[in-house]
Amino acid sequence: MKRLSVWIVTLFLGMSAWAQEQAIRPLEVPMSFSGTYGELRHDHFHGGLDWRVGGKVGDDIHVIKSGYISRVSVSPWGYGNGIYVTHPDGTTSVYGHLLRFCEPVARRVEEEQYARESFSVNLEFGPDEFPVQQGDVIGQVGNTGSSAGPHLHMEIRDSEQDLPLNYLSRDVYTPVDKMSPQFHRVCFYALDTLPVTGSWRIYNLTQPASVRDTLVLPHRSYVAIDATDRQEGTGSKLAVEEYRVTLDQTLLFSFKVGDMPFDKGRYIKSLIQFDESRGGGRDLVKSKVDPNNLLADRITSRDGGLIVLEDDAVHTIRLDAIDEHGNRATVHYKVRRGDDFTPPERDTSLTYVPWLWYTQNVVTDSTMAYYLPAGALYDNINFSYKKVGDPDPSRGIVSEVWQIGTPDIPLQMAGELEIAAAVPEGLEDKTYMANYGKTLTHSGVQVRFGTYCVAVDTVAPSISFLGGKGGIVNGSTIRIRVRDDASGVSSARVEIDGRWYLSMLKRDIVSLELKEDRLKRGKHRIDVFVTDICGNESHETREFTY
């Protein structure tokens, strides 16, 4: 019994020390970030830290605390090669865009890929399979997945809630940061007086700190702010922790990122001025608070964040941008009320219907029906639609073309679109809902606001080998371009000598690495099979020498 008691005490003390372990840096390079927690990313908040590595891949990644590798994911998108380490203190650290995993994990992943005949895998492990000690190398920095350049994306999550935590605001990592955020652009918007309120931009201040003139605003308006943080040692535009709008001495609006749950982060489209962000523009945080904005638990507002001017006096608008270390940037504007504001004219060719955010909304007209579920909108809108084209067999279009809503209006959820079509006999399984434009691309039945039609795709994808001089092999790599100009590529399969071979399809390129442990030196045959979304198939074969 005494020996058992000693063992229990020893185990308890060991676990206590483990739980109190302070996180170390994951990289040996100087601490510098290209992205920080809470950055605005159009449709989500950045949930971690992007560590800079000088534009090169291959640096060792060290696990920041002891624990065990609980999950590994491989995908052409997202984190690319991602590794998850669970720690005894109730957190999980996540490392994304890796070039490669440490050898035992890499071997296990490749075994699973061949067993499943799939590049993309998501594997989970128990505490005894891959335990790690603080500082162990778990992989190398890469540029895989949805990455624009070599870096390490690292998150620390509350394991139970799967909640990403802001380690900079907790001072776990303390970069030199005495620089204030910077305002890049400030816009003011007037609210119109239609039955369902809309807005339009009246000021676009591209040098926000240099404005000295008094701005004339309507009775009700709001402001949208483009600001980013700065830190010593990096030119990257980083996250602002808090935005504030004050009218005279009254706080009208404040938003503080805090720890952002993944599900709530999707409501970023209600926080930003979406028409400015759509298509890759800048994200401006707007003071107007939409009724279906579930980020309201971290928003403080008065009058819904609107600037309401009840008299003709000159007032002061103050804007503050504050980073996680308390550095602050401030701009002031003198404003007064004016009543000579006229909303832009409506497009009279469109049909308008008031839609409410808290109900299901439906519109039907001749050959079209569109259903939008309750809660899909962030605010009430004037929904608009019209028929913009007729069937065009030369392009494979077998229905009328409909403009559904306005793409500048954000949606939390997509709607279901039905369009009647005259499908040629025998081609029912070759039809798809298409985004209409210079080209037709597959949209699926669940669609957001845009322009759509039903199209037929009977053409198989194209396959072309992109080899080096004298053959299809460039070093130890084979690359193949696969394209489909209609419904889009659904899958690509590569076989060498009649057996499945590991390859990755990303942005119309199939790539594979030839490895001696998988392929003997000599002559071989490669077969590539590509299928589009409508089931059209292509097959190309080549011989090569490795």
Domains of the chain, by residue range, sit at 49-164, 188-337, 351-456, 462-545
Do 96 and 153 touch, CB atoms closer than 8 A? yes
Q: What is residue 6's predicted lDDT score, i.e. its pLDDT?
A: 38
Superfamily name with CATH number, domain 462-545: Immunoglobulins (2.60.40.10)
pLDDT in tens, 258-293: 999 999 999 999 999 999 998 888 999 999 999 999
CATH 3.40.50.360 fits 49-164, yes or no: no
Superfamily name with CATH number, domain 188-337: Immunoglobulins (2.60.40.10)
Beta strands in 97-162 (DSSP E): 98-101, 121-124, 131-132, 137-141, 151-158
> Residue 18: is its pLDDT beyond 70?
no
Residue 254's DSSP bridge partners are 244, 300
- Asked whether the domain spanning 462-545 has the same topology as the one spanning 188-337, the reply is yes
Do 480 and 464 touch, CB atoms closer than 8 A? yes
* Chain mean pLDDT for the chain: 93
Length of the chain: 546
CB atoms within 10 A of CB 121: 16
Do 305 and 291 touch, CB atoms closer than 8 A? no
Sequence-distant (6+) residues with CB within 8 A of 495 are 501, 526, 527, 529
pLDDT in tens, 163-206: 999 998 998 999 999 999 999 999 999 997 666 778 999 999 99
User: How many Å apart are CA 522 and CA 524, to the nearest integer?
Assistant: 7
Q: What is residue 2's predicted lDDT score, i.e. its pLDDT?
A: 40
Do 255 and 301 touch, CB atoms closer than 8 A? no
Do 309 and 222 touch, CB atoms closer than 8 A? no
pLDDT in tens, 408-452: 999 999 999 999 999 999 999 999 999 999 889 999 879 999 999
pLDDT in tens, 303-315: 999 999 999 999 9
pTM: 0.91
> Residue 85: is its pLDDT beyond 50?
yes
Sequence-distant (6+) residues with CB within 8 A of 243 are 225, 227, 253, 254, 255, 285, 319, 320, 321, 322
> Residue 521: is its pLDDT beyond 70?
yes
